[in-house]
Amino acid sequence: MMHNVEIAPGVYSVGAVDWTKRNFHGYETPRGVTYNAYLIVDEKICLVDTVKAPFTKELLERVSQIVDLEKIDYIVCNHTEPDHSSALPFVMEKTPQAKVVLTAQGKASIIKHYQKEYDFQVVKEGDVLDLGRKKLHFITMPMLHWPDSMASYLDGEEILFSNDAFGQHICTNQCFDDENNISDIMDEASKYYSNILMPYNRLIGNALGKTETVPIKMIAPSHGVIWRTHIKDILVKYEKWGSGYNNGSIVIVYDSMWGATEDMARRILEGVSAAGVVAKLHCLTTSSLSDIINDSLECGGIIVGSSTQHNDVLPTMGGFLTYLKGLRPVNKIGAAFGAYGWAGGAQKSIEESLTASGIAVESSNLSFKWVADQDEREKCFNFGLEFAKKVQGNKE
Ligand code: FEO
Alpha carbon of 149 to ligand 1 centroid (Å): 9
Atom of ligand 1 lying closest to residue 145 CA: 2
How would you classify residue 293: left for phi > 0, otherwise alpha for psi between -120 and 50, otherwise beta? alpha
3 is catalytic: no
Alpha carbon of 171 to ligand 1 centroid (Å): 16
Instruction: Looking at the structure, tell me whether residues 86 and 232 fall in a common domain.
Output: yes
Q: Is 116 exposed, middle or buried (0-12, 13-18, 19+ CB in 10 A)?
A: exposed
Instruction: Looking at the structure, tell me whether residues 232 and 275 fall in a common domain.
Output: no
Of 190, 210, 242, the last residue of a domain is 242
Q: How many domains does the chain have?
A: 2
> 331: domain range?
250-393
Alpha carbon of 144 to ligand 1 centroid (Å): 10
In tens, the pLDDT along 239-261 reads 999 999 999 999 999 999 999 99
- Residue closest via CA to ligand 1's atom 2 equals 81
Rounded to an integer, the average pLDDT of 314-318 is 98
Which residue in the list 84, 137, 223, 230 is annotated as catalytic?
Answer: 223
Which residue in the list 18, 42, 73, 83 is annotated as catalytic?
Answer: 83
Supply the CATH number for residue 231's domain: 3.60.15.10
Instruction: Looking at the structure, tell me whether residues 15 and 143 fall in a common domain.
Output: yes
- Residue closest via CA to ligand 1's atom 1 equals 164
Q: Residue 148: phi, psi to the nearest 5?
A: -85, -10
> What's the pTM?
0.96
Q: Look at residue 324 in the predicted model and tell me its pLDDT.
A: 98
Instruction: Looking at the structure, tell me whether residues 197 and 68 fall in a common domain.
Output: yes
Instruction: Looking at the structure, tell me whether residues 254 and 208 fall in a common domain.
Output: no
Q: Is 365 exposed, middle or buried (0-12, 13-18, 19+ CB in 10 A)?
A: exposed
First to last CA, the chain: 51
In tens, the pLDDT along 194-232 reads 999 999 998 999 999 998 889 999 999 999 999 999 999
Of 217, 242, 267, the last residue of a domain is 242
Supply the CATH number for residue 342's domain: 3.40.50.360
Closest CA to 297 of 210, 365, 238: 238
Of 242, 268, 291, the last residue of a domain is 242
Instruction: Looking at the structure, tell me whether residues 43 and 65 fall in a common domain.
Output: yes
Instruction: Looking at the structure, tell me whether residues 181 and 290 fall in a common domain.
Output: no
**Which residues sit with their C-beta closer than 6 Å to ligand 1?**
79, 81, 83-84, 145, 164, 222-223
Instruction: Looking at the structure, tell me whether residues 222 and 308 fall in a common domain.
Output: no
In tens, the pLDDT along 52-62 reads 999 999 999 99
Distance CA 163, CA 182 (A): 20
Instruction: Looking at the structure, tell me whether residues 222 and 281 fall in a common domain.
Output: no
Instruction: Looking at the structure, tell me whether residues 178 and 280 fall in a common domain.
Output: no
164 is catalytic: yes
Q: Where are the beta strands (DSSP E) in 260-374?
A: 279-283, 301-306, 333-340, 360-361, 366-369
Closest CA to 284 of 252, 329, 317, 324: 317
Query: What single letter denotes the amino acid at residue 219?
Result: I
25 is catalytic: yes
Question: Strand pairing partners for 8?
Answer: 11
Instruction: Looking at the structure, tell me whether residues 193 and 63 fall in a common domain.
Output: yes
Peptide bond into 145 cis (omega under 30): yes
In tens, the pLDDT along 83-119 reads 999 999 999 999 999 999 999 999 999 999 999 999 9
Instruction: Looking at the structure, tell me whether residues 152 and 223 fall in a common domain.
Output: yes
Q: DSSP code of 225?
A: P
DSSP 20-77: T--EETTEE-TT-EEE--EEEESSSEEEE----GGGHHHHHHHHHTTS-GGG--EEE-
